[in-house]
Amino acid sequence: MEQAAEIEEIIGSLARIAECPSDYAADWESRTGGKVVGILPMNFPAEIVHAAGALPVIVQEDDAAISYGRSLLHEFYCGYTRSLVDQAATGKLACYDGIFLVDHCVALLGAVDAIRFELPDTPVFLAQFTASMDETTTRPQIAGRIGELRQRLEELCGEPITDDAIHRSIAAYNRNRGLLRRVYEMRRAGRIALSGRQMQALVKSAMVMDVEEHSARMARLLSLLEAQPPAPSAKVKLHLSGHFCHAPRPELFDMIESCDVTVVDDDIYTGYRFISTDVPDHADPVEALTGWYFARNNNVPCSTRAQKTVDWESYLGQALENTGAQGVIVLVPKFCEPHMLYYPELRKEFHRRGIPHLLIETEHEGLALEMLKTRVEALVEVIRRPAVIREPA
């Protein structure tokens, strides 16, 4: 097969899995006889599920319109949590042998309550990770929570999770993240011309697939991409920011890129935020996973964590300097309070640095793409006009 066609084929197959993780999970279950564990964003150490011999699948937002879930969760919850509950109410979470999470916000906790109500026979376990990163008590608390996770997963899977198994899983996931980061590095350097939709498919599929299988496809994809000629772009270079819990709709990427834009970097959950950080070496695998939790927020800060030594806006400023991105599009899911409340800080920093930017509020029910396109085009026109400090709202 010709290289370009094989690239398309690999990415296309990963995109199909990312679109329908439950089909993949059912197939994996029938092949292996293992348990499938649904995990919720954002900081869940999937390695520990993998070490238990189960398949960790990050439950994605479903495109379907919210139906029965409406009676379980109010409209003022974010689209992701409403979708989770609707999936529970419509039988789409039946493929999971358990639902596990470590992060919390008001919306996610509400969704978990509704899932428990709707699926009383499904084990649902919250090992709440402390969000105050600077407290001296936080690190031992996180280690304790990971220990609780380990115990609950052992109960669910019926096997002890050994340190060696966790170490092997850490190595497998570190390799997978490294492969994905290499694609990101190539995009930043203008070596490849993968679209936002394609990049999302790579990361989203990593969230739902068996890690070794995903890495095998990624390794082949990388070897093909490395052999391609460079693909420098004369389009306006933008950074996509936000959406730290679930995937923006791919059609949003298509629309943005249709405005003579190339996306060179992002810090979204189904993007660089997810793959930014490897689990550090440590003799004790629980300590290693604890360290990963702290390192993630150092590498790509999140507004849901309270940490004095890092902040999201400084990270963004530095990221733009590194990649040469000329502006930022901030994607805020409607009713995402941690993001909405933090946005003024981002905006101040953009203004201080003279970074053109645009705020797009996304929602489960879809987007007025044509009107949004006018706004993105206006941002592009602002960037291409002479430099003064401009600040599209």
Partner 1 sequence: MKSCVMGIDFGSTTAKAVILDLGGRMLASQVAHMGAVSGEGVAAAIAGALDAAGLAQADIGRTVATGYGRRMLDIADRNYTEITCHARGAVAMVPQARVVIDIGGQDSKVIAVDAQGLVMQFTMNDRCAAGTGKFFEVLARAMEIELEDMGALALQAQQSLKISSMCATFAETEVISLLAEGRSKADILGGVHAAVATRTVGLVGRVGRKGPIVMTGGVARNPAAVHYIEKALGEALILPEAPQIAGALGAALIGLDDYRREHREELEGDDALEAQMALDKACVPGCRGVPELAPPPATAPRGNAAALWKRIQSHL
Which CB sits closer to partner 1, 1 or 371? Answer: 371
Which CB sits closer to partner 1, 96 or 350? Answer: 350
**Using rule CB under 8 A, residue 393 touches partner 1:** yes
Which CB sits closer to partner 1, 283 or 388? Answer: 388
Among 104, 181, 191, 375, binds partner 1 (CB under 8 A): 375
**Which range in 26-34, 186-194, 196-204, 368-376 contacts partner 1 by CB under 8 A?**
368-376
Pairing of strands 36-39, 261-266: unpaired
**Using rule CB under 8 A, residue 378 touches partner 1:** yes
**Using rule CB under 8 A, residue 348 touches partner 1:** no
**Using rule CB under 8 A, residue 227 touches partner 1:** no
Residues in the chain: 393
**Which range in 11-19, 61-69, 263-271, 365-373 contacts partner 1 by CB under 8 A?**
365-373
Q: Minimum distance from CB of 76 to partner 1 (Å)?
A: 15
Q: Minimum distance from CB of 329 to partner 1 (Å)?
A: 14
- Listed in sequence order, the residues at least 6 apart from 9 whose beta carbon sits closer than 8 Å to its beta carbon are 1
- Listed in sequence order, the residues at least 6 apart from 353 whose beta carbon sits closer than 8 Å to its beta carbon are 317, 320
- Listed in sequence order, the residues at least 6 apart from 114 whose beta carbon sits closer than 8 Å to its beta carbon are 69, 72, 73, 85, 88
**Using rule CB under 8 A, residue 234 touches partner 1:** no
Instruction: Identify the CA nearest to 265 among candidates 199, 202, 203.
Output: 199
Q: What secondary structure does DSSP assign to 96-162, as a single string?
A: -SEEEE----HHHHHHHHHHHHH-TTS-EEE-PPP-BTT-TTHHHHHHHHHHHHHHHHHHHHTS---
Which CB sits closer to partner 1, 234 or 283? Answer: 234
User: Which residue is listed with tokens 């793409």?
Assistant: 369
**Using rule CB under 8 A, residue 235 touches partner 1:** no
Q: How many residues bind partner 1 (CB under 8 A)?
A: 19
Which CB sits closer to partner 1, 19 or 363? Answer: 363
Q: Minimum distance from CB of 367 to partner 1 (Å)?
A: 8
**Using rule CB under 8 A, residue 385 touches partner 1:** yes
**Using rule CB under 8 A, residue 388 touches partner 1:** yes
Residue 309's CB is within 10 A of a number of other CB atoms, namely: 9
**Using rule CB under 8 A, residue 381 touches partner 1:** yes
- Is 187:203 a contact under the CB 8 Å cutoff? no
**Which range in 26-34, 178-186, 311-319, 375-383 contacts partner 1 by CB under 8 A?**
375-383
Residue type, 236: V
Buried b (16+ CB within 10 A) or exposed e, 15-33: bebbbebbebbeebbeeee
Pull the structure tokens for residue 371: 């009107």
Q: Which residues bind partner 1 (CB under 8 A)?
A: 361, 368, 370-372, 374-375, 377-378, 381-382, 385-386, 388-393
